[in-house]
Amino acid sequence: MELTILGYWGGYPTRNGGTSSYLIESDGYHLWLDAGSASLIALENHIDPLDIDAVLISHYHHDHIADLGVFQFTRQLKGIGENRAPIVPIYGHEEDKENFDRLTMDRVSKGIAYRENEAFTVGPFEITAMKTLHPVPCFALRIEEVNTGKVLVFTADSGYLEGFIPFSKDADLLLADTNFFHGMENHRVHMTATEVGRIAKEAQVKKLVLTHLPQQGDLALLKEQAAAEFGSQEVLLAEKDLLITI
Ligand SMILES: [Zn+2]
Ligand SMILES: [Zn+2]
């Protein structure tokens, strides 16, 4: 499978870059993971939004869903006549009924609820969800490409949880909320570079990608702090249009 970073800032877009959003492709299937601010334009640089097969949403904070409404409008307005796009499934949790209901739009999209620890299949992927530590219900997602066994784990937004270690076990790639530099450990909303480096090491993942990045500070230092915990394994900073083959 292939992962393309569409947006990676935490909380708000800046400097021509958007917030949390990723395109995951396998065998011609296109899964859009989180639809942060400025991500629809970033997505369009890679594929036509009409070609998205499914959307997966970790939680309903603005920096993860800001472009979902205009994505629905794109499907509705651009996808007419011969272009008509099929009704796109949008997977999200149901613990916030008002936001879950917005995933469904007549003849455009259909909200489908996922639940913690109940594996669900989306195209070529089998996915499991784990509730994170965050002010609103939010789920980390373990995404396995069924025909290869390759695994991508996305922490979504979270403070540190020991549960991330078994949840990320032996993943080929860990895409981790690294909103803070070392020194802010045990925060109740996001993780530090040290914490995600530790999870990567303990879970024996093959590659760590830092995302949901802070707008202030030296990102090279953030990477150093994660690498110091992880050891010599590969650590990457998310950047726009970065393509990673898993
Ligand atoms: Zn966020
Ligand atoms: Zn959040």
Report how far ligand 2's centroid is from the alpha carbon of 80 (Å).
34
CA of 91 to the centre of ligand 1 (A): 17
What pairing do the DSSP bridges indicate for beta strands 21-26 and 29-35? Answer: antiparallel
CATH of the domain at 201: 3.60.15.10
Helices and strands (H, E) in the chain, number of each type: 7, 14
Predicted confidence pLDDT, tens digits, the chain (246 residues): 999 999 999 999 999 999 999 999 999 999 999 999 999 999 999 999 999 999 999 999 999 999 999 999 999 999 777 778 899 999 999 999 999 999 999 999 999 999 998 999 999 999 999 999 999 999 999 999 999 999 999 999 999 999 999 999 999 999 999 999 999 999 999 999 999 999 999 999 999 999 999 999 999 999 999 999 999 779 999 999 999 999
**pLDDT recorded at residue 97:** 98
CA 63 / ligand 1 centre spacing (Å):
5
- Among the bound ligands, the one closest to the CA of 11: 1
- Cα dihedral 13, 15, 18, 20 sign: negative
Is the CA virtual torsion 16, 53, 136, 230 positive or negative? negative
Give the range of the structural domain holding residue 145, as residue numbers without chain letter. Answer: 2-245
What per-residue confidence (pLDDT) applies to 81?
Answer: 77
pLDDT at 82: 77
Region for residue 198 given its phi and psi (left: phi exceeds 0; alpha: psi -120 to 50; beta: otherwise): alpha
Contact indicator for 115, 95 with CB cutoff of 8 Å: no
Domain count, the chain: 1
- Residues within 5 A (CB) of ion ligand 2: 61, 157
Predicted confidence at residue 79, as pLDDT, reads: 79
- Assigned token pair, 78: 């651009």
CA dihedral 124, 172, 236, 164 (to 10 degrees): 100
Ligand nearest to the CA of 66: 1
Ligand 1 centroid from CA 90, angstroms: 18
> Cα angle vertex 132, ends 111, 204, to 5°?
110
| Distance (Å, whole) CA 155 – CA 196 | 9
Please give the distance, rounded to the nearest whole angstrom, from the Cα atom of residue 138 to the centre of ligand 1: 10
